[in-house]
Amino acid sequence: MSRKRFAIAAILVAGCAAGTVSLLRAQQRATDVTIGANDLGGVVTGANGPEAGVWVIAETTALPTKFAKMVVTDDRGRYVIPDLPNAASYDVWVRGYGLVDSAKSKSARGKRLDLKAIAAPTASAAAEYYPGMYWYSMLQIPDKSQFPGTGASGNGIATVMKAQPYWIDTVKNSCQSCHALGSKGVRTIPKEWGHFDSSLQAWTKRLQAGQAETNMAVTLGRLGPKKALALFADWTDRIAAGELPSSKPERPQGVERNVVISMWDWSTPKAYLHDAISTDKRNPRVNANGLIYGSPEESTDMVPVLNPLTNEAWQIKHPFRDANTPSSLDYPHGHSPYWGDEQIWDGHTTIHNPIIDEKGRVWFTARIRAANNPNYCKAGSELPSAKVAPQETSERQLSMYDPKTGKFSLIDTCFGTQHLYFGHDANNTLWTSAGGPGSGVVGWLNTKMYLETGDAKKSQGWTPLIIDTNGNGKRDSYVEAGQPLDPKKDKRIMAAFYGVQPSPVDDSVWGQSMDVGFSRLDQPSYVIRLVPGSNPSETALAEIYSPPDGSFGSRGIDVDLNGVVWTALSSGQLASFDRRKCKGPLNGPLAATGKACPEGWTLYRFPGPQFKGVSDTGSADHAYFVWVDRYNVLGLGANVPIAEANGSEALLALVNGKFVDIHIPYPMGFFSKNVDARIDDPNAGWKGRGLWTTTGTRAVFHNEGGNTSRPKLYKVQLRPDPLAR
């Protein structure tokens, strides 16, 4: 070889070597993951390279209660699970759309662990990991032409079903609000029940199972048993035959990949949780690093408690006053494929919601006695509120737990309670909702007076909902609900709050009603503004606002720092109502229709498919409640509303008009009824804050893990990027 050719060859070899080194360095940069002593990280790859937007889950049973932490891979398949508690080892695996779960690898914190993702071999295998909404959207909804229902001797749809929206609203707000409909435990017939001649027979049996039998029977009666059973049976038959959801979920994108989700087991496999509380909504720094409390509703009197610093979970027993207080054990019950004939619920106190005050005390809506009220609540009493609207019964009252003393105070109320929130006044008024419309009143407790005197009778009050239909700006004598308007009088509506939230911008209290629709021809719910006045039981005035035409089913409510009201609609939207946009008068005859301010509404369609057979805009997704992150605790901005979307098994945060989908991947079937957010350390960035939520389905055993699974408590945090430590 000549010297010239040798030189050229040498240059080419050197160039190739340099290129190889550059390529190796680029590959190393693509897989660089910085891991601290308490972290776990690596790269997830599949058959075609890095897997972006999939979840990596690390779980351990080596702590006082089972614990897991979940993160999402970045666009190069990299992941970092930060700040794992000290444990002997973790089971680590990959879950994601388009995949099946990878094998679980054992690892300890402080280690690098590269993982192999496993592509789903079939479309059916992939669909097993879809959120429940994608499955229950396959449920065939009766066509609009079949409404109003003509009853059992007609088309099988109940006559109370005046239009298709009432059917959808009932499926979501009565069925889906208690059970994760699309979960595998619901969309399929449990094998433990044995043989059925038909799915119709199986569904008939299913709706007679467990201690919720009566509730399910009521809902079935509303829908019309003949039609409802046939459609649910058709749904499971089509799934059993191999039909799959018509659309697919997308993997997390953008900021959705920055989430860090921590999860703890608490309570017991036989219980369920309605809600959890970590702090005072008015000041999220209250109870920093403190205990988290849950509300187990019908299932038990044992309040679950978690210490997130020590990973310890335990229970405290909520007392009740009278031996004749009703119990869940009194409910009729049918044979369960999960629990046989065992009655797994034994609660007396039916604790629905907790809230924490400025001193860290926990207040509950809880039953402390039988329903019949004391005489001072009834007609003939000298109590001011009883003179206006006497109350014969109260299904649930109030209680307060002081962690410093470990003692409960049982607070008798004449009005029923469901949700509760503190106002912003000097009396620290605790405003409550009644749940259903039956009582027709809104109740409150002057907690300042109660804590000073211990006198529940004098510290409470309630008012009916009166609309200023005569338009003179004050409350006058009124016609009762169901009576025609009188131009000289105001008008009472027989509604009550389900959600409740005092406004942070004025002295109004906002609520939201449900189930009004069965006696009306338009919308099945209201958003309600209550202005208490100087003597609320006699001066309070209400304004009602129905969602826009084509939408319906308000559920849950919150108010942002601008006074804008947020609610979730069963028509498949998140909705805002801004009273500042109202152009016309908000009193007078029009006020009684709920149509006084259509311009105040803005709708945001939930992501995901619509029901089979429904042509209207909206989504099959459903949110049980909505919560506004007033103080930017999560990190998406101040005043961001977050819908607890139990269909998509996610927290849906609305940011600049678009939803950020924070999906909870494990266990499948995540179902939340509310969230709150706490700042533990304002100087620690994202690590010093987070949202708290809990499993909310009444049947935890329908979800992944079956009847060995316990309810879960979740902390959701948002870091600046997917690899932040």
- No. of helices (H) and no. of strands (E), the chain: 12, 41
Write down the pLDDT at residue 27. Answer: 42
511: left (phi over 0), alpha (psi -120 to 50) or beta: beta
Amino acid at residue number 461: G
Dist CA 607 CA 244 (whole Å)? 19
Dist CA 694 CA 101 (whole Å)? 24
Is the Cβ–Cβ distance between 346 and 296 less than 8 Å? Answer: no
Write down the pLDDT at residue 88. Answer: 86
* Torsion over CA: 467, 471, 473, 479 (sign): negative
Cα distances (angstroms) measured from residue 315 to each of 294, 304, 305, 306, 359: 9, 4, 6, 9, 21
Is the Cβ–Cβ distance between 459 and 400 less than 8 Å? Answer: no
Dist CA 132 CA 184 (whole Å)? 8
Name the pTM for this structure.
Answer: 0.94
Write down the pLDDT at residue 5. Answer: 44
Query: Pairing mode, if any, of strands 689-694 and 675-679?
Result: antiparallel
Dist CA 98 CA 104 (whole Å)? 18
Whether the bond into 667 is cis, omega within 30 of 0: yes
Write down the pLDDT at residue 191. Answer: 86
Dist CA 389 CA 379 (whole Å)? 8
378: left (phi over 0), alpha (psi -120 to 50) or beta: beta
Dist CA 708 CA 377 (whole Å)? 45
Q: CA geometry: angle at 486 spanning 483 and 490, to 5°?
A: 85
Q: Give the 3-state secondary structure of residue 193.
A: helix
Is the Cβ–Cβ distance between 158 and 209 less than 8 Å? Answer: no
Cα distances (angstroms) measured from residue 249 to each of 70, 126, 186: 19, 11, 20
Dist CA 351 CA 366 (whole Å)? 4
pLDDT tens for 219-260 read 999 999 999 999 999 999 999 999 999 999 999 999 999 999
| Residues contacting 160, CB < 8 A, separation 6+ | 149, 166, 222, 518
Dist CA 722 CA 80 (whole Å)? 7
Cα distances (angstroms) measured from residue 232 to each of 176, 225, 241, 542: 13, 10, 14, 40
> What are 123's two structure tokens?
């479309």
Dist CA 217 CA 670 (whole Å)? 25
Helix pair angle (199-206, 225-240), 10° resolution = 120
Chain centroid to CA 455: 34
Spans of the chain, pLDDT less than 70: 1-31, 515-524
User: What is the H or E stretch that residue 29 is in?
Assistant: helix 3-31
Please, which residues bridge with residue 717 across strands?
260
Please measure the distance between the N-terminal and C-terminal CA atoms of the chain and give it in whole angstroms: 57
Is the Cβ–Cβ distance between 442 and 509 less than 8 Å? Answer: yes
Q: Give the 3-state secondary structure of residue 618.
A: coil
Report the 3 state secondary structure along 3-20. HHHHHHHHHHHHHHHHHH
Cα distances (angstroms) measured from residue 425 to each of 462, 532, 647, 663, 687: 17, 12, 37, 37, 32
Write down the pLDDT at residue 516. Answer: 43
Write down the pLDDT at residue 437. Answer: 73
> What are 705's two structure tokens?
């893990």
b/e per residue 594-613 (b: at least 16 CB within 10 A): bbbbbebbebbbbbbbbbbe
> What are 606's two structure tokens?
């939930």
Structural domains of the chain in order of their starting residue, each with its CATH number = 32-127 (2.60.40.1120), 132-240 (no CATH), 363-605 (no CATH)
| Residues contacting 463, CB < 8 A, separation 6+ | 385, 388, 389, 441, 442, 530, 532, 536, 537, 538, 540
Write down the pLDDT at residue 524. Answer: 60
Q: Give the 3-state secondary structure of residue 314.
A: strand
Cα distances (angstroms) measured from residue 166 to each of 232, 375, 450, 548, 603: 17, 38, 42, 15, 19
Query: Nearest 5°: phi and psi at 25?
Result: -65, -40
User: CA-based diameter of the chain, in Å?
Assistant: 120
Write down the pLDDT at residue 548. Answer: 93
